[in-house]
Amino acid sequence: MIRWDWISTDPTKSFKKFAEEETASIAFSPEHQKQLKNLLIAEDTELYIFCMCVFYTFVRPIELRRLKVSQVNLKDKKIQIIGKGAKNKKTQYVMIPKPLADIFIEYKFLERPTNDFLFSSDNDIKYSRNKFSSNFSALRDKYELPKNYSLYCWKHTGVVEYYKMGCGIKFIQMQCRHSSLDETDKYLKSLGLFENDEILNNAPEI
């Protein structure tokens, strides 16, 4: 409206922003990680592979649902995330760790036309937005696991496990495709990381 000379100033600049409600970032307990993995393998192979993709690559479920087979380069161990379907609108790559590569090979998951969706129905129709999250929630409720466990928790769990293994913040930033280390630092703190025994036990004394 300013560009068209309908008004001279932007009235929205005086509006106060609503306070953002922070959602808790929750990771699965080690016991539930193993339980969920075994349940998924036994009951829903495709959902298992989907969850392992989220766990190992930190790709958001909504972005993963849009991936095509051609974007997965098993030889170079990387996945291309196209900007058009990404949250940050940037085309970037994430690494494929060996355990995930082994899963792709074991289930022959990439042996289909390269232009097909990585996760799709038999006639290559992209699944609905809530298919995997709904299926995961149904499995969670069936076995009476905590209600605050969601499909997205696989990403949080992956980050926690990588961090515990000693992976540096730079790797986590790259794999999460964060724009800055500050963003990664804030995310790690939301997961309760950086509050470890080493820091507490080595505090200075007077």
- What pLDDT score does 22 carry? 44
Q: Can you give the C-alpha Rg of the chain in angstroms?
A: 20
Backbone torsions φ then ψ of 60, nearest 5 degrees:
-65, 145
Asked, for residue 140, whether it belongs to a domain, the answer is yes
Question: For 55-105, what is each residue's pLDDT tens digit?
Answer: 999 999 999 999 999 999 999 999 999 998 788 889 999 999 999 999 999
Domain count, the chain: 1
Nearest-angstrom CA–CA distance, 110 and 11: 52
Query: Residue 109 above 90 pLDDT?
Result: yes
Asked, for residue 203, whether it belongs to a domain, the answer is no
- The percent of residues in the chain predicted with pLDDT above 90, rounded, is 67
- What pLDDT score does 134 carry? 95
Phi-psi region of 127 (alpha: psi -120 to 50; beta: other; left: phi over 0): beta
Among candidate residues 20, 52, 36, 35, the one with its CA nearest the CA of residue 190: 20
* Residue of 2 and 71 predicted with greater confidence: 71
Query: Residue 200 above 80 pLDDT?
Result: no
* Residue of 18 and 126 predicted with greater confidence: 126
CATH of residue 136's domain is 1.10.443.10
Question: For 22-44, what is each residue's pLDDT tens digit?
Answer: 456 899 999 999 999 999 999 99
Asked, for residue 206, whether it belongs to a domain, the answer is no
- What pLDDT score does 3 carry? 80
Nearest-angstrom CA–CA distance, 71 and 150: 26
Query: Residue 140 above 70 pLDDT?
Result: yes
Q: The domain containing residue 38 runs over which residues?
A: 30-190
Asked, for residue 198, whether it belongs to a domain, the answer is no
Cβ count within 10 A of residue 125: 9
Asked, for residue 48, whether it belongs to a domain, the answer is yes
Asked, for residue 173, whether it belongs to a domain, the answer is yes
Query: What is the chain's mean pLDDT, rounded?
Result: 88
* Residue of 54 and 85 predicted with greater confidence: 54
Asked, for residue 8, whether it belongs to a domain, the answer is no
Q: Contact, 58 vs 155, CB < 8 A? A: yes
Among candidate residues 65, 52, 61, the one with its CA nearest the CA of residue 104: 52
Asked, for residue 108, whether it belongs to a domain, the answer is yes
Q: Contact, 184 vs 172, CB < 8 A? A: yes
